Structures are given as C-alpha cells and as structure tokens.
Amino acid sequence: VEAAIPEPARKAWSKYTPKGFETPEDFEKEAIRHIETTLARSLYNCDDFATYAGTALAFRDRLVLDWNKTQQEQTLADQKRVYYLSLEFLMGRALDNAMLNVGQKDVAKKGLEELGFRIEDVISQEHDAALGNGGLGRLAACFLDSLASLNYPAWGYGLRYRYGIFKQEIIDGYQVEVPDYWLDFNPWEFCRHDVTVDIHFYGHVRKYTTDEGKQRCSWEGGEIVQAVAFDVPIPGYTTPTTNNLRLWGSKAASGEFDFQKFNSGEYESSVAEQQRAETISAVLYPNDNLERGKELRLKQQYFWCAASLFDIVRRFKKTNRAWGEFPNQVAIQLNDTHPTLAIPELQRILVDIEGLDWDEAWSIVSKTFGYTNHTVLPEALEKWSVPLMQHLLPRHLQIIYDINLHFLQYVERNFPKDRDMLGRVSIIEESNPKMVRMAYLAVIGSHKVNGVAELHSDLIKATIFKDFVEIYGPDKFTNVTNGITPRRWLHQANPRLSELIASKLGGHEFLKDLTLLHKLEEYVDDKEFRKEFQEIKYANKVRLAKHIKESTGISVNPSALFDVQVKRIHEYKRQQLNIFGVIHRYLAIKKMSAEERKKLAPRVSIFGGKAAPGYWMAKTVIHLICEVGRVVNADKDVGDLLKVVFLEDYNVSKAEIICPASDISEHISTAGTEASGTSNMKFVLNGGLIIGTCDGANIEITREIGENNIFLFGNLAEDVEDLRHAHLYGQYKLDPELNSVFEAIRSGMFGDAGSFSALVNGIVDHGDYYLVSDDFASYCQTHEMIDEAYRNQEEWVTKAITAVARMGFFSSDRCIDEYAEAIWNVEPLTPKKEGAQVSVH
Ligand code: GPV
C-alpha cells in the first residue's frame, strides 16, 4: 500500500491534514463554514436546525480525523478484532455524545452562545437514531460506547433501516403508529459506494466433483441483491479511538436492473424491482421479545449476516494467513439468535468457496462465534420453518442438516442410553411444518454461550439449554451481567450530578472507572453534598414536569413523588400490575378522611413505552392507563395527591430526561421472565430508588447496593411454576383488593368496561399466567412502605446516595472487559500519541 503513495501527496497530506478546532471562535468558524457552504444556508435563514446541522458537521470533521487514524492503526496492528453482530443498535442522538467524548462541549456551548443560540435547543434538533426496540438494541449501543472508550479494536455490524422503530402517538387514549423516517439529514453516516457485496437468495444446489475427486456443492440460480456499506463513527470517551459501526443498506444489484425494460419504456416495472430490493433494509421489525417468522425478516437476517461475513473474511484474507488462524484474528459475537445464520454462512464460505474440508471448517467456525441469549420466553425463541428456509436458502438448510447430523452422532455416541435426548436437542423440531431451532444452532456453533444476569444465566442452564449443559459440560455456559455506559446515562443525561460527583472525587475519572463511585459514601452525611444532591433531583423533576406539561398538558407538582415505569409494554413486564395498583390507590384516597390524606405523599405515576403494533393486550394496557389518567387527573377531590401520566413515544432521548427525574422506578416483571433489565441500572445511577421483583439484574443490584436501599416484593422465580400450576387447577383465590379494582373497572369508572374485559379475564378466568394476583398484595404493601420512607426525606436521601455510590459494577465497561477476557480473547489497542508518525508497511 505504502509504495503506491506518491511523495508530493505524502508531503501535502502531512502539511494540510485538517486539525479540528480548539477555541469557541474556531468552532464558530467551522460551524458557519458548514452552514454557508455544505448546507448552502445564509445568516438570514439560520434557525436552530441549521445551527444543529453546522455544529454536527463541525464535530463530525473532528470525529472523522480520529476515525481514519484509528482504522489505519487497527489495520496496521493486525491484532484480533471483535465483530458485534446485532439487528438492533438503539443509538439515540449522537451530537451531545460526540461533544462530550471529544471533550469540546464547553467550547461549543460558548461558541453557540456567542452566535445567539442555546446549546440545549441545538442538541434537541437531532432526530434519534432509533434502530432498535428496547433493551437489546440499547445494550448494543452501550457496548459500542464501551468498546471504543476502552480502545478495543471492534466493529459493529447491523442493518441500515430506512424506518426505525415507529413513532408512537396517543390519540384519544389509543396508541397510533407513525412511520419513523429518520434519514432526511443524517450527518453521522458515510455511504461507502465502493464497499458492496452481492447477496444471493433462492435458487438451487448443484453437486459436483472437483478435479481432485472431491464432492462439492455450489449454490446457483435465484436472485441477487446488493448490500451497500454505510459507516458510522463511534467515538470513545477521552480517547482518540473511534470505532466503526457498519450498517448495510439494500439495493438492486447493478446487473439486475433491467435496462432492457427501462429502455423499452417499461421503466415503471424496472423501478419496481429496485424498490423490491430496497425493501429488505426498509424497516425495523417492531417486536420486542417476540418472533413472528416472516419471510422478509429471514431475508433481512441473511442479507446482513452474509454481507458482514463477506466483509470480515475479505479483511482476513488481506493478511494472507492460514485459515486455521481465523479464530485468532476474529471474534464474532451474536446478539441473540437473530444473526445465527452467520454460522452456516461461514461454514458455506469455508467449504463451498474456499475448499476446506468439513471438519477443518467447522473447527474454525465453532471457535469464532460467541452467542448471547437475552430471553427464556418461549414466544421469543426463534424458529424458522424448514420449507421457508429450503426456498430462500437451500444450501444453508443443507448445511444446517449436516451440522445437526454431526452433532446428533456425537450425542448418540456419548449418551447411548438416553434415546429421547436426540429428539430433544435436534436443531430440527419434528413438527408440521418442521422448524429450525435457531437457539440450538447458535449453541452448537459457538464456543461460549452467555446469559445477561446471574439469575438468567442460571435459568438458561436449568431450562432451555439443560441438555446442552450435559452434552458440552458447564464451562461452555457463562454469565456476563449487563451494564450501561456512564457517559450517556450519567454525564450526558445528568450533567449536574456528574459535576457534583466530580467535585468530590477530584475529577471525572469515575466516568472511565465507575467503581470509583464508592468514595461517595464518605459524603453521605455531608450536609452540603446532601443538599446539592437533593436540589439536583428536584431540578431534574422540574425539567420533566415541564416536558409533561408541554407534551400532555397535565400539570404535575415537582415536589410529588415521581413513580416511573418506562419500557416496552409487555404482559411479562406487568404494566397492568402497576396500573391496577394505581387504581387501588385512587380508590383508597377517595375513601380517606382529610386527616389521612394529609399523611399521604402526593404522587405522580408516569408511564411510557411502545406496544408492538400487533400486540393487542399490550395496547389494551396503554388504553387503560390513559383512561385511568383521564378520570384521576380530572378529579378535583384528589388534586395533587395522585396524577397519572402516559408519556408519548418513549425513546432514548426521552429516557435521558426521565431517568434523572425519578424518585421510584418500577421493574416488576414476573420473577424469572426479565433476563436482566438495564433501565433499573440507569435509574439507580441517577439517584432514584427502585421497586422491583427478584428478577434479572434487580437481584445483583440488591446485592451491590444493600437490601435496605431497594424495595423488593413478590414471589420468587423458583415458585412461579407451582403457582401457575395451582391456578390451572383452580386452587387459588383472586386477591380481594385486586377484585375491588376489577369491580371498579367493570362498573365503567374508567370508560367502557368491555374494552378491558380480556385484560381482567386473563387474570380471573384464564390462569393469571403472569401472577398479577399472587403479587398484588405484596406490591401494594411495598408501595405503602415507599410512601412512609419518602416522608422521611433524610433517610431517603441517604438511601439514594448510598445506592449511587455502590453502582460501580453496572458500567458496560466492566461487561466489555469480561467479554474480552472470557469470551473474545482480545486486547485493547492503545492509540498512538498525537503527532506520532505511523509507518505503513
Ligand atoms: I430476546 N430483550 C429485548 O429488549 N428485546 C428482545 O427481543 C429480547 C430481549 C432484552 C431483555 O428483555 C432484557 O431483560 C435485557 O436487559 C436486554 O434484552 C439486554 O440484554
């Protein structure tokens, strides 16, 4: 590469490489240059949006310089890289993050002020990058932040959806979905017109014999769609390391565009073909913890896996190593089973294209992949019908059958007495139609399988992967408890708290090593510190109250206890338990004397979250919340004692306002159903307490912060099965308090009772699968304890500060180090100092 660079170019480069800006004036110059030239806007139409665009482009220039350098250094270092394959990256906004990571937010703030703009207004012009549903996609985004901040050579691979998760509008108390077209202006992506991969679908398999007399397969016929790379720079915090997120967009392959048709005037149908190809990356499937087996979704999965694998293999081949070295250079992490087709795809590349023998190829494949499981819910475990796969990916289906054959032969040899085991562990489920069990394929094709919190990792070993623990031994299975990036979820979302902490800990070092927070415990009795801590929480509540007023018209009192549940709406997450609790509280208040009411802490119950468009029960829950809000908020007799708010369109940027403003947040899934949860961590880190079940990461949060600083309630995971069983045999009695809530709903107090009958009947008549009734009494009692605890503000603040100080474990930096050590075997690459010459050989 080096030899090809002419000397004059080299000289010019070293002289003219842009440097970025240091002062507010330099920043202004860059921003204005972009507004005038890149955007062709003048001073006379420079509004908040244009200023955002100019600011983003100025920061983008900075990022790109670090990015180019990082990529060059990583290529030269030629060490093992991590590839994180995820169908979802829920990034949110990028500008604030870029400013903070580059360390120039103050410069920009000052520069923008001088131009007459407020930085918050400018930042809030940005459209969220919402290429994800919920926790799984946001985890991927936090991981990218940590990988860059810790200087790991790592790439993310995903799909460039033209439409992210839908925008939610609440109209007359119902969710309405509006498409999220987000690419009108996206300064953070770079289309690599020269990085394309042809992706094959359909067709048939031809067997042939090579010149050496070997039996081989070739996948022929069918159609080709082109994948085009769009690259997004991912800056690390206080490091020049800027990693790459590569998102694939789909378009018609150049050879496929039918020029004949075009020329003969049938250009409409030729354009239709183009559009058909583009559909593959058009839209994110809006299901969370639910799989629906749609052909287009399978196409998305293969399109993205094949393009990513081709890219990774192409990069490896440039280093001229032996194939056996592949797992020493490449670690691929599968974010849930969505990218599992990468396993047969790599096997296909190695065997069909590169000519390796099956066993040699399989040994490479199974050392390369790691698989993270994010759920035990049966409705979320991916299965694809064999006929569909046969049609779309005939060669991959064969390979999957062969993988299965080898695997089952191994099982048969080692467990000759357990004849049922073969049927239980087979990748192919013998149903009608037959189904491919993707989680089993992922386990068999990976060298490590991890869950995302201790309880969850134990549960997968005891339930869905029990047989595989017997087959492979327990070491193949491990736990990496989830984490969150403290840069976005503390420093960016709650700058005042971050500054307060920095003032006590002597700087912002804790943002890179969150365990340093423990020193805060020394200040738990410090009057000034406590006062400031409380004032910050209050100010954050004022900010949220303002947002609530602007978006819903509801006035809430910032001194009230803010009780928040924001997450995807799902029966297992039990927003229904929360709203039934709210109704219970409302009915209780209505019966209280003036004296009793005085003792009550005023409350605001805040809900937010999207329901999958086809998830009727979840939509009913939203409707009930809205109806309860309509009635309660209008009840003068109740006044400030209770307000109920449903916040429209919960997303990452709204979470940044909501998380710092809660007193209590709710993480109340039926025990054993929430794999981890990550917002629980965000709320506690921001000085809020939580009410939760013994589920997911709540358990480890309790272990870290102490059981006095969390409000736990409800049945344990180990008892869930028996309780469900008891319901089915009628050996249970509906909780009487819950029954009075149902009476109120049936009376029409919250509008048409019929709309809620399925919700109520699911509990009364149909087995109460999520154990709402079983947990209702302890849930309500725990809320009473919260009322009482909140009245003692001094103790409350002590709990909140102590909890923050003990949250160090939940940084996604800790997770990434654990993955790097126990699963990927990769080392960080310390970036070269500024000005150091990189020699290319
Ligand atoms: I599977 N998760 C998600 O957001 N969407 C999914 O489709 C699936 C899992 C979530 C889990 O529900 C959370 O408990 C977990 O914290 C998160 O993934 C990240 O691991």
Q: How far apart are CA 379 and CA 415, in angstroms?
A: 30
Contact between 161 and 303 (Cβ < 8 Å):
no
Instruction: Report the residue among 375, 449, 570, 698 best suited for mutation to probe ligand 1: largest number of ligand atoms under 8 A from its CB.
Output: 375
Nearest to 366 by CA among 396, 339, 393, 346: 346
Ligand 1 centre to CA of 679 (Å) is 11
Query: Which among 402, 389, 417, 308 has a CA at the least distance from the CA of 362?
Result: 402
Report the alpha-carbon distance of residue 707 to residue 823 in Å, rounded. 32
What angle, 0 to 180 degrees and rounded to 10, lies between the N-to-C axes of helices 358-368 and 394-414?
90
Region label for 666, one of left (φ > 0), alpha (ψ between -120 and 50) or beta (otherwise): beta
User: At how many degrees (to 10) do helices 495-505 and 527-552 cross?
Assistant: 170
The mean pLDDT value for 598-626 works out to: 97
Average pLDDT, stretch 166-193? 98
Q: What span, in angstroms and rounded, lies between the C-alpha atoms of 132 and 119?
A: 27
In terms of Cα–Cα distance, which of 221, 239, 228 is closest to 147?
Answer: 239
Q: What is the pLDDT of residue 258?
A: 57
Question: Taking 80 as the threshold, does the pLDDT of residue 374 lie above it?
Answer: yes
Place of tokens 């590469």: 1
Q: Which of 69, 81, 109, 374 is catalytic?
A: 374
- Closest Cα to residue 685, out of 712, 711, 665? 665
Q: Are 697 and 677 in contact (CB under 8 A)?
A: yes
pLDDT higher than 50, residue 840: no
Query: What's the mean pLDDT in 761-783?
Result: 97
- Token pair in block for residue 841: 């050989």
> Which string of b and e fits 790-799 if b means at least 16 CB within 10 Å?
beeeeebbbb
Q: Tokens representing 41?
A: 């806007």
Backbone phi, psi, residue 240, to 5°: -70, -10
For residue 731, name the pLDDT band (cuts at 50, 70, 90): confident
Phi-psi sector, 103: left (phi>0), alpha (psi -120 to 50), beta: left
Q: 255: pLDDT confidence band, cut at 50, 70 and 90? A: low
Residue 139 CA, ligand 1 centroid: distance in Å: 8
DSSP 160-205: --SB-SPEEEEETTEEEEE--B--SS-TT-EEEEEEEEEEEES-EE
Average pLDDT over residues 718-725: 97
Q: pLDDT digit string (tens) for 520-550?
A: 999 999 999 999 999 999 999 999 999 999 9
More confident: 264 or 52: 52
CA end-to-end distance (rounded Å), the chain? 7
Is 209 an annotated catalytic residue? no
* CA 418–ligand 1 middle distance (angstroms): 34
Tokens, residue 464 = 């869905």
Is residue 676 a contact partner of residue 697, using CB atoms and an 8 Å limit?
Answer: yes
pLDDT at 345: 99
Task: With CA atoms as reference, report the closest residue to 33 among 2, 63, 54.
Answer: 54
List the residue whose alpha carbon is closest to atom 6 of ligand 1. 289
- Find the helix or strand (DSSP H, E) in which 220 lies: strand 215-220
Task: Give me the amino acid identity at 250.
Answer: S
Q: How far is the CA of 443 from the centre of ligand 1 (A)?
A: 18
Per-residue pLDDT averaged across 78-95, rounded? 98
The tokens describing 764, both together, are 């009364």
Share above pLDDT 70 across residues of the chain, in percent, rounded to a whole number: 97
Q: Is 484 in the pocket of ligand 1 (CB under 6 A)?
A: no
pLDDT band at 838 (very low <50, low <70, confident <90, very high): very low
Q: Report strand pairing: 129-131 vs 89-92.
A: antiparallel
Q: What angle do CA 147, 152, 155 make, to 5 degrees?
A: 70
Could you confirm whether 476 is annotated as catalytic? no
Across 103-117, b (16+ Cβ under 10 Å) vs e yields ebbebbbbbbeebeb
- Ligand 1, residues 289, 454, 574: which to mutate, most atoms within 8 A of Cβ? 289
Sheet (strand 477-479) strand order: 190-201, 223-235, 242-252, 154-159, 81-85, 330-335, 369-372, 448-451, 477-479
544: CA distance to ligand 1 center in Å?
Answer: 26
Question: From CA 339, how far away is CA 334, in angstroms rounded?
Answer: 6
d(CA 242, CA 236): 6
Look at 13-22, 354-363, 644-653, 700-709 and tell me which has the smallest mean pLDDT: 13-22
* Pairing of the two strands 223-235 and 190-201: antiparallel
| 110 given a catalytic annotation | no
Q: CB-based contacts of 338: which residues, under 8 Å, 6+ apart?
A: 86, 87, 301, 382
| Span 88-114, average pLDDT | 97
CB neighbour burial string for 364-389, b if at least 16 within 10 angstroms, e if fewer: bbbbbbbbbbbbbbeebbbbbbbebb
Q: Where are the beta strands (DSSP E) in 358-438?
A: 369-372, 383-385, 428-429, 435-437
Q: Which atom of ligand 1 is nearest to the CA of 678?
A: 16
The pLDDT value recorded for residue 738 is: 98
Q: Which two tokens stand for residue 487?
A: 């840069």
State the chain's mean pLDDT as an integer. 96
Determine which residue's CA is closest to atom 7 belonging to ligand 1: 289
Q: Which has the closest alpha carbon to 132: 156, 161, 154?
A: 161
- Rounded to whole angstroms, how far apart are CA atoms 443 and 132? 24
The C-alpha atoms of residue 23 and residue 803 are separated, in whole angstroms, by 38
Distance 576 CA to ligand 1 centre (A): 19
567, 574, 603, 610: which is the annotated catalytic residue?
A: 567
Query: Is 799 among the catalytic positions?
Result: no
Is cis: bond before 433, omega within 30 of 0?
Answer: yes
Is there an atom of ligand 1 within 6 Å of 338 CB? no
> What per-residue confidence (pLDDT) applies to 835?
52
What is the pLDDT, as a whole number, of residue 534? 98
Q: Is 336 in the pocket of ligand 1 (CB under 6 A)?
A: yes
Is position 567 annotated as part of the catalytic site? yes
Burial grade of 186 (CB within 10 A; 0-12, 13-18, 19 or more):
middle
User: CB neighbours (10 Å) of residue 727?
Assistant: 18
pLDDT band at 489 (very low <50, low <70, confident <90, very high): very high
Categorize the per-residue pLDDT at 260 as very low, low, confident or very high, splitting at 50, 70 and 90: low
Distance CA 738, CA 576 (A): 11
Is the ipTM reported for this complex over the cut 0.90?
A: yes
pLDDT tens-digit map of 31-65: 999 999 999 999 899 999 999 999 999 999 999 99
Predicted pLDDT at 839: 43
CB within 8 Å of 204: residues ≥ 6 apart: 219, 220, 221, 222, 394
Token pair, residue 444, equals 């068999």
- Among 333, 340, 374, 673, which is best to mutate for testing ligand 1, by the most ligand atoms less than 8 A from CB? 374
Closest CA to 571 of 289, 176, 381: 289
pLDDT bin (cut points 50, 70, 90) of residue 267 is: confident
Residue 449 has pLDDT above 90, yes or no: yes
Please give the number of the atom of ligand 1 that sits closest to the Cα of 482.
20
Q: Residues with Cβ < 8 Å from 610, sequence gap 6 or more?
A: 133, 165, 166, 168, 175, 286, 568, 569, 649, 650
Tokens of 462: 């005891």
The structure tokens 């979704």 sit at: 297
Ligand 1 pocket member 289 (CB < 6 A): yes
Determine whether the shortest distance from the Cβ of 375 to ligand 1 is under 6 A: yes
682: annotated active-site residue: yes
Burial 478-491 (b: 16+ CB within 10 A, else e): bbbbbbbbbbbbbb
| Amino acid letter, residue 412 | E
Q: Which atom number of ligand 1 is nearest to the Cα of residue 290?
A: 7
Task: Report residue 88's pLDDT band, with 50, 70 and 90 as the boundaries.
Answer: very high
Query: Based on C-alpha coordinates, what's the Rg of the chain?
Result: 28
CB-neighbour burial class of residue 414 (10 A; exposed 0-12, middle 13-18, buried 19+): exposed
Q: H or E stretch including 478? A: strand 477-479
Strand partners for 562:
604
Helix (H) or strand (E) holding 227: strand 223-235
- Please check whether residue 713 is in contact with residue 691, taking contact to mean a CB–CB distance below 8 angstroms: yes
Per the CB < 8 A criterion, the answer to whether 64 and 34 are in contact is: no
Q: Which residues pair with 85 in a beta bridge?
A: 157, 334
pLDDT surpassing 50 at residue 322 = yes
